[in-house]
């Protein structure tokens, strides 16, 4: 059986671990929110590039390649945005941080 001083030290260690984990969760919430803002800015920041690629045809090799790359990136972007939206919503519901 633990002594009083061992119990006190153990409780202090548990408290320290909980505090550190809470701080990391708050920081994670901030980082996820920052990534959401960053990703959501892509269509605006790169609107000229996106409009140009979307106007490309498929006869020119360069234009076709750009369209194909944009299609792949769009799929990846949409999946990542969906994941981040879920994470932001989940973290927003956790007010105990």
CA distance 51 to 49: 6
Q: 6-25, pLDDT tens digit by residue?
A: 999 999 999 999 999 989 98
- Does residue 15 belong to any structural domain of this protein? no
Contact between 12 and 20 under an 8 Å Cβ cutoff? The reply is: no
Domain count, the chain: 1
- Does residue 38 belong to any structural domain of this protein? yes
Please tell me the predicted confidence (pLDDT) of residue 11.
96
- Does residue 22 belong to any structural domain of this protein? no
What residue numbers bound the domain in which 55 lies?
28-92
The pTM for the full model equals: 0.70
Structural tokens at position 4:
């009083």
- Does residue 3 belong to any structural domain of this protein? no
- Does residue 6 belong to any structural domain of this protein? no
CA distance 97 to 89: 14
Please tell me the predicted confidence (pLDDT) of residue 46.
97
């Amino acid at each position: 059986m633990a002594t009083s001083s061992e119990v006190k030290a153990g409780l202090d260690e548990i408290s320290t671990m909980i505090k550190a984990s809470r701080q990391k969760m708050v920081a994670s919430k901030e980082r996820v929110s920052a990534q959401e803002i960053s990703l959501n800015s892509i269509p605006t920041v790169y609107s000229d590039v996106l409009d140009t690629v979307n106007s490309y045809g498929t006869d020119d090799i360069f234009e076709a390649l750009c369209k194909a790359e944009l299609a792949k990136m769009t799929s990846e972007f949409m999946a990542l945005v969906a994941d981040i939206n879920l994470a932001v919503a989940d973290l927003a519901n956790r007010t105990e941080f």
